[in-house]
Structure 1
Amino acid sequence: MSTDALPKSSPASSITQASAVALIAAVHSAAARIGFTAAVAVTDQGGHLKAFDRADDAPFLTAEVALDKAWTAAAFHTSTHAWNDYLANPKIAPLGGHPRLMAVGGGYPIIDNGRCVGGLGISGGSYEQDQQAAEEALTALGFELPGH
């Protein structure tokens, strides 16, 4: 094989700053309607923080949890609530020891045109409330939900 024909890179899609900020606003709106305050983290496709906001009365630990949920979702292109079942498998369970892996609902990959462009992490409500706010915000901005 000639090295001239060997692709040396591939294009990477990332959520835009404007969309990340809009997503955070949509999450806060959904959370207010649902009845909780939150920390919201948006990462790029590589799990690096793109945008973040924590409501005044959201506990300080929600900041770290939200970021780890977003990182986990971006890293595996999978919603974080799926990890509870995954970690029950003894062949996957060792991943639970990774310091950033967050197997709690509220983290979603941000999917645009079938490609993961980032991660969204929400912390502050119950895991069901975090998931609901994430799904509402992603849908409101036209992003695809995993498995849909």
Structure 2
Amino acid sequence: MRTKTILTNGDVKKIAAAAERHAMARNWPVTIVIFDDGGHLLHLNRLDGATLSSIEMALAKGRTAALGRRESKFYEDLVKQGRVAFLSAPMTGFLEGGVPIVVAGEVVGSVSVSGVKSEEDAEIARAGIAALEL
């Protein structure tokens, strides 16, 4: 039997605080979400000024990253390269901004952001994950 690494509440708070600091330092109004490895919501925060639609986008991108075990941008690129049949997959967040949290080669969750340019969303998510100092 294997031992499974999981995100603690302290980990989630650390990720969320770092992601929020990164976004606020740039005046980026975004929604930040964190999921466990099963795609279950652990944290959601819509910063002041973030659109309501950013909530749904962040949720979708984060679930895609957690369940797909890779960045949501991977799926965006598949579709852009003509693999449109992939749109029927059971995931919905095929835009950049969902980033898996990987510990010792295992995905333990994801961080997802929506509200600014997709590459900036991913930048914020990575800044949050970096707070874990993996």
Cα 1:89/1:127, change in 2 over 3 Å:
closer
Corresponding residue for 1:21? 13
Inter-partner Cα distance in structure 2 for 1:40 and 1:119: 11
Residues 62-117 of structure 1 deviation map (CA, whole Å, 9 limit, x = unaligned) = 11111111100001111111212212455x53231346421111100011122110
Larger radius of gyration: 1
Q: Does the CA contact (< 8 Å) of 2:35 and 2:111 recur in 1? A: yes
Matching of residue 46 in structure 1 with residue 38 in structure 2: yes
| Cα distance, 1:17 vs structure 2 | 1.7
Aligned length: 134
Corresponding residue for 2:100? 109
Corresponding residue for 1:66? 58
Counterparts of residues 3-22 of structure 1 (less than 5 Å): 11-22=3-14
| Cα distance, 1:140 vs structure 2 | 2.7
Partner of 2:28: helix, strand, or coil? coil
Q: Does the CA contact (< 8 Å) of 2:55 and 2:114 recur in 1? A: yes
AA of the residue aligned to 1:93: V
Q: TM-score, normalised by structure 2?
A: 0.87
Q: Does the CA contact (< 8 Å) of 2:112 and 2:122 recur in 1? A: no
Q: Does the CA contact (< 8 Å) of 2:14 and 2:131 recur in 1? A: no
Corresponding residue for 2:69? 77
Q: Does the CA contact (< 8 Å) of 1:34 and 1:129 recur in 2? A: no
Partner of 1:103: helix, strand, or coil? coil
| Cα distance, 1:41 vs structure 2 | 0.8
Q: CA RMSD in A?
A: 1.9
Corresponding residue for 2:130? 139
Residues 5-28 of structure 1 deviation map (CA, whole Å, 9 limit, x = unaligned) = xxxx75443211221122111111
Corresponding residue for 1:6? none
Partner of 1:47: helix, strand, or coil? coil
Q: Does the CA contact (< 8 Å) of 2:61 and 2:98 recur in 1? A: yes
- Runs of 5+ in structure 1 lacking a partner? 1-8, 144-148
**Greater relative contact order, per chain length (Cα 8 Å cut-off, separation 6+):** 2
AA of the residue aligned to 2:124: A
Identity, % of aligned pairs?
26
Q: TM-score, normalised by structure 1?
A: 0.80
